[in-house]
Structure 1
Amino acid sequence: MYKKNKLFLFLLLFLSFFTNAQVTPPLSSDYKIIEIGTNGGDSTKNLILIHEIFNGGLISMNNAVGTLTAFRGTAGSYNRTNMIEINSSSAYNGTFATLRTYDGNGEWILKTCIYNGKKYLAVDVPYADSHHDWGYQFTGWTKSTGENMKSVNYEVNGQAVNTDKLSDIQNYIPNMNETHLVSNFLIMGNNVGIGTMNPDEKLTIKGKIHTQEVRVDMTGALVPDYVFENHYKLKTLPEVEEFIKENKHLPEIPSAKEIEKNGLMLAEMNMSLLKKMEEMT
């Protein structure tokens, strides 16, 4: 019996040690789990005020580093799953913020606004007619000299609301860098957009590209060296002249209107220009 009791006490101390070892007290009272609530109902657009930010007067530390989640879903209501990782702070005379979103039906966008006379960093909740009936919750380190993680409606059934205390809603341009120092960065998805929310190809970029080299695989494309074959029939100069007078562009080259409408296919255009050069040669 003594040995059994001794073994029992040993196991109890062992389990107690490892159970307690997994519990880490918060390093700061600013680490919080905040139940934000819902926006109140369907057909409602709302902002979540993150924290106060600099607006001309020096400000104490305000910050939010953590995860904001929003859910909808029951046996009688369709599923909505949204989550953002936010990293933001405002102190003295500067504000830094960025966010990463995971969503099933829309994008969360950083905003600024004036609420009850103070300026705030906020996120615009992706809108759908049916609201997040499980509400919003923030988990992380946050503090604010004003409101902190508060949902504020700005439109209900197409009508503006809270205009007496909410105003000047503006887009906020994220100003923090995210760096990945890895051997390979793999994205196993459908389309990737840079500078656009609506990529229509594997990679869609709204803006300029600066690079040292571009290599295009000519899969399925026919390099036009066949124009040097003896059986290839060149258009006569009068035929080319007649075509240009009538169409205002070279044969087999798209017109300016076509390029403006459909864009320019790089591989296809290079082969067409090469063909014209070889024909002239």
Structure 2
Amino acid sequence: MRKAIGRLVANEDLNFLLTNRLPRRLATNFIGWFSKIEQPLVARTSIAVWRFFSDVDLADAKEMRFKSMHACFTRTLRPGARPIDPDPDVIVSPCDAIVGAHGRIEGDEVHQIKGAPYRLSELLGDADAARDFEGGTYVTLRLTAGMYHRFHAPHDLTVEQVTYISGDCWNVNPIALKRVERLFCKNERAAIRCRLNDGTPIMLVAVAAVLVASIRLTFMDTERALRIGGPRKVKLATELTKGADMGWFEHGSTIVMLVPRGYELKREIDTPARMHAGVGLFDRR
């Protein structure tokens, strides 16, 4: 049965219809509310259905009993489940993900998928910030619905600013990326500007998607969804160690990661390749 459903949903037209033509914000708000219901029968049933359709692996979870689907979405892992590459010359992956588009940043242009460019300055909402990464490298990291949903500091760093940009919640799967131009620039997102101890700037852009009830950042007010308060820039000076928890999505989504000249992908990465948090991603050239 699961294979039959998988083949049906794999049909591009049907997949796009189901995930993007429904009332996206209404569906997202509903899931945000429903996932927090702590009634045991509702929690067990919803988690079972989610695991059936999303191939969820809880083998590394710190706990195996969850009082709500939301608690399962935002689960922590047992200690040591994601070893962090200690090499100071290596920037690691901030999350478990499937690697999408990646490559050199040419001027102000990057790609959400081959042949589908968008402007980095539009993604970040800041032309000056985009210029810091001209000639650098970008990589798109997609967290699927069944993955571990937290993301972590890719190096010892200081978070200097968070720019929150409100927007839509299109699905960010490859089918939607082929069909919706500049999709990442249309979705709700948070551009997290960081600086390594040697002054190197890096950027993590957390992009929300359909059914992502909110982006949460642990170095800010984690009691509130980031969207509460509207579009804004928040200046910070928060120091984090490599591998420290930075936040989570309340469903699968995407992080676009930017590094400047002087770093390159640690190895040639095939698309789509699966990446774990803490695995070396960029090397100092």
Report if TM-score (shorter chain) is over 0.5: no
**Higher relative contact order structure (alpha carbons within 8 Å, sequence separation ≥ 6):** 2
With structure 2 as the length reference, what TM-score do the two structures score?
A: 0.24
- Largest Rg, 1 or 2: 1
